[in-house]
Amino acid sequence: MSFALKDKKLLVGSIAIITLLTLVITLILNSFLINDTIEEKSKKYYHTYVDNQYIKISDTYDSKGSSFTEALKKEGFLTRLKQFNHDLQTTDGLNFFEITKQHVAYWGYYNGKNNFVVAYDMDPTMKNRLIKTPAGQVYITPLYAIQVDSKAYNLFLKNILAAGEDFSDDAYNYQPDKTTIPCILGSNYSTVYEIGDLIQIEYLTKIINLEVSGFFDKTASIPINGSILYLDNYIILPSLNCQYDPQDPEEEFFQKILYDQKNSGYLIDEGLDYYAIVHSIANTYDLKYTVGTNKKDVSMVNQGVTALLTKKIVFIISIFLLLLAIFTLILVLMQKFHREAKKISINLICGASLSIIKVKMYSYVIFCYLISLIMALLIIGRDFFYISSENMAMGFTIIFFSLIAAIFTLNLLVNNYHLGNALRRR
């Protein structure tokens, strides 16, 4: 029984088997990967907060009859915003961190990927809108961006860079003469920019340069607004601290907007009456902030359930495809065995051992599995390393047992094949 490429039926069968097995192995390992990217990251980066809820703090301006525009004009508004922020950071029992979606506007003609452009799918005109500025007309394009303070960064994003450096302590400090602030880009940016590149953007009211200091790993994500946000297409900025008094109204306006954003962060729910605490602090400074109206559980539980469901569906599909692959494998081999049964039985009556033929068949099965495994690993790529050792062991156990099952079934079929009849074939 020879396994040569000139056997066209075998070649076509082999391609089908290897394709199916590659798909199956990729799906099985990916089904664990889906779970692992969340579970493992939870274990690694979410520390003890994995079971906690995250409570959003929001301002209540522009609702309940209070206008943010009016508040902006009030005396000492910026100072109070800063004090509120300080109290959120320092009050006993409050575990506050800043994560805010704060998109930036690319300044100039944008030739980049559409994935990075805010709401491009819904409105392609978001890209390269021409606006008038005192210096003339300029194209702007909103890009997805998120700002995080050092606490949020350390909680969720530290040490998951694919390249470059985490934000330094200085990255969070903003001074008026600072025209460049560091940024870390999501993994999809890695083919667009290099470390050290400058990106000119409009951030709140300022035109500044972002200096690329690194790229996040593909799996980098943060909890925001009740879900896990993957940062592949995001620019991550430090949530800036302005430890100076503004020298002009424009600067003051910038800081007011910035601090309102900073204050709209999250509290880690540790069972206190946050509504009362936050209202109390906010009232002290005559500010309108609350918790709970936008209370979002950064639903690790929900996310876990979704992931589990996805995993289950992918897993069931994988098992179905695995059975199909094994069936195809057995069918192809048994058809070949049947085609060559006469030749095999002639060799047997001449003294050949069926064991040699079986070994050839099993080697072919192992070969198909190995090729498929290599191809699956190439498809999964670096993500493979995010699969936990337990899940990897489970995945490989399933694959190994399917291999054993295929060989066992083949052995049974070959043993029960009536080779004596094949000798009589014309």
Partner 1 sequence: MIQLDKITKIYHNFGGNKKYALKEIDLFIKKGELVAIIGPSGAGKSTLLNILGGIDKPNSGHYYFDNTLIEFKANKLAHFRRNNIGFIVQNHALIEDMTVYDNIALPLKYSLKSKAQLENYVLEIASYLNIKDQLSNYPTQLSGGECQRVAIARAIINKPRLILADEPTGSLDSENKRNVMNIFKDIHKSTTTIIVTHDYEIADNCHRVIELNNGGIIENEKI
Which residues are at the interface with partner 1 (CB under 8 A)?
342-343, 345-355, 418-420, 423-426
The nearer residue to partner 1, 64 or 424, going by C-beta atoms, is 424
CB of 425 to partner 1, least distance (A): 7
CB of 419 to partner 1, least distance (A): 6
Asked if 281 contacts 88 with a C-beta cutoff of 8 angstroms, the reply is yes
The SS3 call for residue 130 is strand
CB of 1 to partner 1, least distance (A): 13
The nearer residue to partner 1, 279 or 342, going by C-beta atoms, is 342
The nearer residue to partner 1, 348 or 405, going by C-beta atoms, is 348
The nearer residue to partner 1, 247 or 415, going by C-beta atoms, is 415
Class of residue 340 by CB neighbours under 10 A (exposed 0-12, middle 13-18, buried 19+): middle
The nearer residue to partner 1, 129 or 343, going by C-beta atoms, is 343
Kindly state the helix (H) or strand (E) to which residue 380 belongs, with its residue range: helix 354-380
CB of 422 to partner 1, least distance (A): 9
CB of 356 to partner 1, least distance (A): 9
Asked if 275 contacts 290 with a C-beta cutoff of 8 angstroms, the reply is yes
Kindly state the helix (H) or strand (E) to which residue 327 belongs, with its residue range: helix 300-339
Q: 187-218: string of b/e by CB count within 10 Å (b at 16+)?
A: bbbbeebeeeeebebbbbebebbbebbbbbbb
Please report, for the chain, how many H helices and E strands are present, in that order.
Answer: 11, 18
Q: 10-38: string of b/e by CB count within 10 Å (b at 16+)?
A: beebbebbbebbbbbbbbbbbbbbbbbbb
- Rounded to 5 degrees, φ, ψ at 149 are -85, 175
CB of 379 to partner 1, least distance (A): 39
CB of 323 to partner 1, least distance (A): 22
The nearer residue to partner 1, 326 or 344, going by C-beta atoms, is 344
DSSP code string of 17-84: HHHHHHHHHHHHHHHHHHHHHHHHHHHHHSGGGGGS-EEEEEE-TTBTTB-HHHHHHSTTHHHHHHHH
Whole-angstrom Cα distance, residue 268 to residue 384?
32
Query: Residue 412 gets which letter from DSSP?
Result: H
Asked if 80 contacts 285 with a C-beta cutoff of 8 angstroms, the reply is yes
The nearer residue to partner 1, 301 or 349, going by C-beta atoms, is 349
CB of 192 to partner 1, least distance (A): 59
Asked if 48 contacts 300 with a C-beta cutoff of 8 angstroms, the reply is no
Angle (CA) 46 52 58, round 5°: 100
CB of 341 to partner 1, least distance (A): 11
The nearer residue to partner 1, 103 or 342, going by C-beta atoms, is 342
CB of 17 to partner 1, least distance (A): 26
As beta bridge partners, residue 146 has 101, 236
The nearer residue to partner 1, 180 or 363, going by C-beta atoms, is 363
The nearer residue to partner 1, 158 or 358, going by C-beta atoms, is 358
As beta bridge partners, residue 206 has 203
Tokens 């969720």 sit on residue: 156
